[in-house]
């Protein structure tokens, strides 16, 4: 059956803004995150402590994070690829971090300049140290369905890296459809295989990009398999600069519209969120691609 409540892991400020060609000013990012919190989102991924040359869009992480200190009752996870990233985050008092691995060699190389196993070795001390500091650790796994260089990704290959991330001590695993090529049957097959491999469904979140318009259908398939953590980005912002053909994430508004219709609680005020996504779209100079945002926008 379907869950009674879904926890939305909002990624617009990180996955969304990392992919903008223009660097968004720090104060605009801070206001965006405050508005997302005011709309009822309780997990808002704030930024990444990655190499500033790799992702200049998020090079202001040190300036941004302290501006969020007045937001109460909201988890503000950040991405950290390595020990340097964790040290930067720890200094600012971050409580939740995410490492980000890949199921494919091509993307591990493009995104982290490492092989899959070298990236796992890089994450090992990061996860251990973060847990020692009492932090919650999410493990992202990219290219769980298809890869722009390698094509369809075998389920067994995904399961191997997923298990390895969980064995490092991650509290949570987010299954990334980085380029948005998944379809619902593939989602069901991967979740079944992960279940057989002993990865608890309660620890799994899904992260769909919406390139082929399948993100909602994929989400529904995951909910039917018992998943209750869903990643989405306000207004459908998003993409990955290191994965050609990556487009925006599942729009949070599209997700909330579907969940509301299903009677599933999210705590999100949809009207307020639409106003926020339109405000952000104005800052970025182009309209939101979300169908729900457009439908609920009355000009
Ligand atoms: P590298 O070039 O191999 O780095 O990059 P290195 O380890 O060789 O270090 C080189 C220099 O960088 C050193 O400085 C380090 O201190 C410095 P030097 O000693 O030469 O003066 N350095 C750093 N500085 C600041 N912060 C750091 C840091 N690390 C090293 N954290 C590295 C390796 C991992 C750093 C690089 O590849 C990187 O930053 N990659 C980030 C890529 C990224 O952010 N991608 C987007 C997020 S993933 C995503 O979007 C997918 C997701 O949404 C899920 C999905 O959709 O599938 C999550
Ligand atoms: Mg992503």
Q: Are strands 146-147 and 151-152 parallel, antiparallel or unpaired?
A: antiparallel
- Give CA 196 to chain center in angstroms: 24
Whole-angstrom distance between the N-terminal and C-terminal Cα of the chain?
39
Q: Which atom of ligand 1 is found nearest the CA of 177? A: 57
Q: Give nearest CA residue, ligand 1 atom 35.
A: 51
87, 49 Cβ separation under 8 angstroms: no
Per-residue pLDDT, 242: 85
Residue 299's pLDDT is what? 62
Rounded distance from Cα 291 to ligand 2 centre (Å): 20
Q: Which residues line ligand 1 (CB under 6 A)?
A: 15, 18, 48-51, 54-55, 79, 81-82, 84-85, 88, 100, 111-113, 140, 142, 176, 178, 207, 240, 242
226-271 pLDDT, tens digit per residue, is: 999 999 999 999 877 788 777 899 999 999 999 999 999 999 999 9
What is the whole-number distance in angstroms between the Cα of residue 61 and the centre of ligand 1?
Answer: 14
d(Cα 200, Cα 241) in Å, to the nearest integer? 31
Cα distances (Å, whole numbers) of residue 178 to 101, 207, 249, 284: 12, 8, 9, 22
CA 21 to chain CA mean position, Å = 19
Mean pLDDT of 62-79: 98
Residue nearest to ligand 1 atom 15, measured at CA: 84
CA distance 8 to 255: 9
Q: Cite the active site residues.
A: 240
CA 2 to chain CA mean position, Å: 22
pLDDT computed for residue 240 by the predictor: 78
| Cα dihedral 187, 218, 109, 199 in deg (nearest 10) | -40
* Mean pLDDT along residues 186-214: 98
- Substitution site in 10, 16, 20, 51 for ligand 1 pocket (most atoms within 8 Å of beta carbon): 51
Q: Which residues, 6+ apart, have CB-to-CB distance to 87 below 8 Å?
A: none
Ligand 1 atom, smallest distance to 48 CA: 44
Q: Is the dihedral of CA 214, 101, 225, 230 positive or negative?
A: negative
pLDDT band at 80 (very low <50, low <70, confident <90, very high): very high
pLDDT bin (cut points 50, 70, 90) of residue 131 is very high
């Amino acid at each position: 059956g379907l869950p009674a409540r879904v926890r939305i892991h909002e990624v617009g400020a990180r996955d969304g803004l990392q992919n903008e060609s223009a660097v968004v000013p720090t104060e605009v990012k801070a206001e965006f995150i405050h508005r997302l919190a005011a709309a009822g989102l309780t997990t808002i991924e704030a930024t990444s402590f990655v190499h500033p040359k790799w992702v200049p869009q998020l090079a202001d992480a040190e300036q941004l994070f302290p501006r969020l200190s007045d937001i109460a009752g909201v988890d503000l996870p950040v991405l950290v690829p390595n020990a340097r990233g964790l040290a930067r985050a720890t200094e600012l008092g971050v409580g939740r971090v995410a490492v980000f691995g890949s199921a494919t060699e091509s993307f591990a190389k493009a995104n982290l300049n490492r092989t899959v196993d070298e990236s796992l070795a890089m994450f090992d001390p990061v996860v251990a140290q973060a847990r020692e500091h009492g932090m919650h650790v999410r493990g992202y796994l990219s290219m769980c369905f298809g890869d722009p260089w390698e094509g369809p990704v075998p389920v067994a290959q995904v399961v191997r890296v997923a298990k390895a991330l969980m064995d490092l001590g991650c509290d949570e695993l987010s299954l990334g459809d980085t380029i948005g090529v998944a379809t619902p049957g593939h989602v069901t097959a991967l979740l079944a295989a992960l279940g057989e491999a002993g990865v608890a469904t309660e620890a799994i979140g899904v992260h769909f990009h919406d390139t082929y318009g399948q993100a909602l259908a994929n989400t529904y398939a995951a909910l039917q398999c018992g998943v209750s953590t869903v990643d989405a980005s306000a207004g459908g912002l998003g993409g990955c600069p290191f994965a050609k053909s990556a487009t925006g994430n599942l729009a949070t508004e599209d997700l909330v519209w579907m969940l509301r219709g299903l009677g599933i609680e999210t705590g999100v005020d949809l009207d307020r969120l639409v106003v926020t996504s339109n405000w952000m779209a104005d800052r970025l100079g182009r309209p939101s691609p979300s169908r729900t945002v457009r439908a609920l926008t009355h000009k």
